[in-house]
Structure 1
């Protein structure tokens, strides 16, 4: 019996020596690498998240700005990074609202122009720009409040102070002209006024001659007649400004001349007797800086 037990123990030892425990097999194999980001991948993802383009609603009262507004910051924008040109877009009368009492009102500013293009993902200027779209809640664009808003934006965001551009349609076109008319020391490097109007006088003409201006209007506009647009541009150019003012008219087009202007779809549809529309307005503005 003793011999039998010893024989069985010996065989067990031999068997253990000839095979590995399943745990030993797992440990001896090349471990499977988990599908996780490396620290560098994580950092890259974080950087991408913080520098992606953002279109943010800022209801009236959410900061110290005199208007509620939408602000678009392009990819690459950070609070401590490089500065960018900025476009201030003034909407028309139909997009007014008070986002302090009704935050949903602010979405009205996404109806036309650059903020609409951003919403539809068709915004693709040749140079990255910040786009700020304030909402009028006062019945009309108050010149002093618009000026204060532009100053606020220029110090709150990473704005290139030499590249502040202003554009507006209809009531916003009035507001654009009014801003150029009101101050000798305005911050605007270039402006585009669409389907707007203003007050014709010598002081205005002299002030506006200091700012590169491109005016667009539908020739058949019966809401805001194109008369002022057709008068102000030659009056400015009579002063021999450093940059001549431009006027582009669309024959057969009524009040809405802004969609074809902002999108560029009006190129080739302009009246050949006036300035051609061969360059998008964003590239045109970008070439000008304010000393």
Structure 2
């Protein structure tokens, strides 16, 4: 079992290092306003409970089946909203085209789980889209295609497209930032993920604000990469300093305490404090 896990992770790391695209040259700037906010003091319109809809694989042109959440004030001809893309872990893969109930697996963790349990309440309402991988691993081209499809199909603020993922989805998040010179991601939060530390990867990822989370006792995906990539990014003096938050004694499931904010105050004081929820943190940044 141990050798199998090592082989899987090794294969994933090789895939992550394969991109040859030119380095992305962007400089994200913090912002606080958004078209979906009200005109008075930029206060967001409260989300009183939106719609969470299941879209089975093949029901539209998206390369994945997915759940899409639209805030209560969302209208097809209304203002644009920030978009949060959530990439699940290996345990939630499934094919909703052949087995529709499989899509419900994406509701197990992260933002879609919070939406399901009615605990989703970010300061700034967002469209939340949770694709389901049916291919065994997140394919970088399909994820890119999916993000572009969602961002043009729904009323999305093109400057505020955010990406997060856990475990396999953390790998997928890192991979997406490493793969293209024109990705649309304004900020990213990978949790319990990994990749390869090299010059090209580090330069690319330094162009996107990133906050990395990991459990210090994670044996499935050890935190070594997380502890190496963040200092490497910051050594390049990026415009937005990369952040790393680690949880002492926490194993692989470091995502629930991150997505819900319950991990605040439980982080290792030697690293970046968890003093702001990740959704407000991402909202600060826009794509130029």
Instruction: State the TM-score, normalizing by the size of structure 2.
Output: 0.83
Aligned counterparts, 1:104-183, within 5 A: 104-183=101-180
Task: Determine which of 255, 270, 274 is the counterpart of 1:258.
Answer: 255
Q: Equivalents in 1 of 2:258, 2:149: separation in Å? A: 28
Answering whether residue 232 of structure 2 is matched by residue 235 of structure 1, we say yes
Aligned residues: 241
Mapped to 2, the partners of 1:211 and 1:197 lie a distance apart of 17
Partner of 1:274 in structure 2?
Answer: 271
Pairing partner for 1:245 from 227, 236, 242: 242
Q: Give 1:39's aligned residue.
A: none
1:201 CA displacement: 1.1
Q: What does the per-residue CA deviation read over 1:105-134, in whole Å, with 9 as the maximum and x for residues that have no partner?
A: 000000000000000000000000000000
- 2: CA distance between counterparts of 1:83 and 1:243? 25
Aligned-pair CA distance for 1:252: 0.5
Q: Contact between 1:87 and 1:165, CA under 8 Å: does it hold in 2?
A: yes
What RMSD in Å do the two structures reach over aligned CA positions? 0.8
**Equivalent residue number for residue 94 of structure 1:** 91
Deviations 1:54-107 (A, max 9, x none): 000000000000000000000110111000000000000000000000010000
- Map 1:206-221 to 2 at 5 A: 206-221=203-218
Please report the TM-score for the alignment, with normalisation by the length of structure 1: 0.82
Unaligned runs of 5+ in 1: 1-50
Separation in structure 2 between the aligned mates of residue 199 and residue 100 of structure 1, nearest angstrom: 34
* Structure 2 stretches lacking a partner, 5+ long: 1-47
CA contact (8 A) 1:52 1:77 kept: no
Larger RCO of the pair (alpha carbons < 8 Å, separation 6+): 2
Query: In the aligned structure 2, how far is the partner of 1:225 from the partner of 1:253?
Result: 11
* Bigger Rg, structure 1 or 2: 1
Any idea what the Cα deviations from partners look like across 1:202-246, whole Å, max 9, x if unmatched?
Answer: 111000000000000000000000000000000000000000000
In the TM superposition, residue 52 of structure 1 has moved relative to its aligned partner by 6.0
Q: 1:225 aligns with which of 222, 225, 233?
A: 222
Q: Do the aligned residues in 2 keep the contact of 1:212 with 1:244 (CA within 8 Å)? A: yes
